[in-house]
Amino acid sequence: MTVSVSVPTATHKRTSQNERIKMSARGVKVFYGENEALHGIDLDIIENEVIAFIGPSGCGKSTFLRCLNRMNDTIANCRVEGNVTLDGEDIYAPSLDVVLLRAQVGIVFQKPNPFPKSIYENVAYGPRLHGLAKRRPELDDIVESSLRRAGLWDEVKDRLDQPGTGLSGGQQQRLCIARTIAVSPEVILMDEPCSALDPIATGKIEQLIDELSESYTIVMVTHNMQQAARVAHKTAFFHLGEVVEIGDTDDIFTNPREQRTHDYITGRFG
Amino acid sequence: MSTTQFDTADSKRRERLATIERSLKSRHARERRFRRLGLTAVVSGLVLVAILFASILMRGVPAFWQATLYLDVYFDPEVIQISERPVQAPGESDAEFRERELAWLGELGRVNWNVLIDEALKAELPGEIESRQTRDLRALVASAERHALRERVMHAPELVGQTLNVKMLASANVDVWLKGNIDRSLPDHRQQLSAQTREWADYLAAEGVIRNSFSTALFVNPDSRSSSASAGLAGAFMGSLFMMLIVIVLSVPLGVASAIYLEEFAPKNRLTDLIEININNLAAVPSIVFGLLGAAIFIGYLRLPLSAPLVGGLVLTLMTLPTIIIATRASLRSIPPSIRQAALGIGASRVQTVFHHVLPLALPGILTGSILGVAQALGETAPLLLIGMNAFVANVPSSPLDQATALPVQIYLWQGNELRNFFEARTSAAIIVLLALMLSLNAVAIWLRKKFETRW
């Protein structure tokens, strides 16, 4: 079975309905040393949609996610082949500055990883780095609006000077999301953003993803199929380094076309 | 029947518990034995350190006070026959004035300053003192004191004709005699001082003319052979200070920079592996080998001066670099990768990631490692012997190019001095000064670590 067959017609249909392709991957292979972890991924990410990657552990969904903003560059002996574009531009082109790419494609990690600095500094770091705010009031505005959008402002507005590491796990993760959206990226990658959180914090983050999808394109990896069903417009099922099936979330969960997808979502393996 | 079954099951259960209990006993015994062993090791270590400190302190602390004479010296114009101190006349050239001044200094140098001290002593001592006893008389006072009198008059010529109470160091042998560091019952021919001098020393001590005063000489004077009582640590201290500055200025930035490059930027390949192995091995190279290297390269090839703190500093820099690199790398490695990923994910470059996040977090470890490396260099003796820093230097160096020794080398030199019963205490005093310096460096390291760690 070739992967291109499994790209559902639904995607093309919606594309023809004036939905722009934000990112696109063609024939993406990733090698760790001699070991081929991804065997040629073809996948399109539509602007302002939430796409979830599901699949059993070790199927390559996180690896693929990291290809989308070249975080794999930081891993020794990791090699990427194939073609990934952002707005039609090759992000692996030698002329592309990876810093610029990451300002456009932000990432939120599995474990909350705030800097051991104040809450304010955590959010202000990105804008300051990229020179997005000329003066302090401008920076204050960015920090406030980012924290508001991350739904954290009311909880932390009185203690912005306190360490970000002193917040609870869910708050820390929302702080990391605020930190990411502070540089106004176009795409946000989320690598199992809720796996270290309790159900209440998870609920808040899911709600946040829903709200953010109005202005951002969101790609998330999740182990939690209910979560994918709740928040994602599209879902891609990864297995053994391939995309088995991709389509509208409702279709994937109610009417999967592939046997393997069916087996996974019904809990036969995983 | 079911009861028997239950009984068998129960007895099996009890047997199993008994087996575990038996093994438990030996396990606990082993644990107790290990704990006792550890405790013994710690206690014996502490005891040995305590003995070391006690013996050094007991021997060294008395040397911070030394026998000092308080004499009323009459600056006799009959003895000090000098002209007016020259003043530069208007229109006189610098060279002309310098010549007149030198002539005046020559007059000062020709004065027999010993006579002033002799007279002052005679005034304190009972009975007539004949001129053949002058030798015994002069053995009381450190020989450098006559130069001190000359200095006084040189800086204040108006003293001539006045009487001033002057503090003078007693000679080293008098100090030894009065402190009881020599057996008083030894026969005359085995005593350092003549019977007459010993008698006078006891008399002056009883009269309060010789008192045991805090020895500033130990801190402000350079080493001395002709006047052992005035031998001090100032020269060695300044030599060590210059070397430390050179080590800090060179090895800390170099070491930290190379550690950052190797840890954060260098590609992992054969070459970097080779470099890493070499750095680790360099840290284990005996320090005297670095001295040989320094002698060959800095002195033999680059023709830098012998006995100079500059060369010493360079050699110690080479020796300290691996320590600092290893400490810095360990400290960088302990920073969780999630911090680096967070910064990279926002779009920080690798350099920004390191300098904004990783380095500040690693700073306490880096500082501690660096200071410990510098402290190690401060206590190093062997490599300095090979670049001539064990020379006898009777001046306080004023630049890193002047000849100098270092504190540990001074300790080595003093402990080999012929005047054993004076320099034994002096050596311990020097050790105390060196230890105090080391402890304060370590205290700074601890303070810095605490300061940067408690930020969050």
Bridge partners for B164 per DSSP: B73
Q: What pLDDT does residue B5 have?
A: 67
- What pLDDT is recorded for position B309? 94
N-term to C-term CA, chain B: 69
pLDDT 10s digits, B103-136: 999 999 899 999 999 999 999 998 888 888 899 9
**Are residues B345 and A69, on separate chains, in Cβ contact within 8 Å?**
yes
Q: What distance in Å separates the CA atoms of residue A62 and residue A65, rounded to the nearest whole number?
A: 5
With beta carbons under 8 A apart, name residues in chain B contacting A129: 346-348, 352
Q: How far is A106 from chain B (nearest CA, A)?
A: 6
Q: Which residues of A touch B456 (CB under 8 A)?
A: 116, 163, 165-166
Which residues in chain B have their CB less than 8 angstroms from residue A130's CB?
347
Can you tell me the distance from the alpha carbon of B165 to that of B362, in angstroms, rounded to the nearest whole number? 58
- Asked if B430 and B411 touch (Cβ cutoff 8 Å), the reply is yes
Checking B353-357 for CB contacts under 8 A at 24+ apart, the result is B354/B260, B354/B264, B356/A125, B357/A115
The answer to whether B338 contacts chain A (CB < 8 Å) is: yes
Alpha carbon B93 to its chain's center: 46
* Residue pointed to by tokens 């001295």: B291
* Mean confidence (pLDDT) of chain A: 87
Sign of CA dihedral A28, A30, A34, A37: negative
Interface of A with B in 104-163 (CB under 8 A): 106-109, 111, 113-116, 125-126, 129-130, 163
Q: Do A100 and B347 touch (CB under 8 A)?
A: yes
Residue A5 has pLDDT above 70, yes or no: no
Amino acid identity of residue A2, one-letter, is: T
Tell me how close the Cα of B453 comes to any Cα of chain A, in angstroms.
Answer: 11
CB spacing of A102 vs B346 below 8 angstroms? yes
Which residues in chain A have their CB less than 8 angstroms from residue B349's CB? 99
- CB contact set of A42 (below 8 Å; sequence gap of 6+): A3, A4, A7, A25, A26, A27, A28, A243
**Where residue B3 falls among pLDDT bands split at 50, 70, 90?**
low
Convert the pLDDT of each residue in A190-235 to its tens digit.
Answer: 998 888 888 888 888 899 898 888 889 999 999 888 899 999 999 9
Q: In the numeric block, which tokens belong to residue B104?
A: 């005046």
- Does this model's pTM top 0.95? My answer is no
Q: Please give the residue of chain B at the shortest CA–CA distance from A166.
A: B456
- Going by C-beta distance under 8 Å and a sequence separation of 6 or more, which residues neighbour residue B229? B66, B67, B142, B144, B169, B170, B171, B172, B174, B175, B217, B422
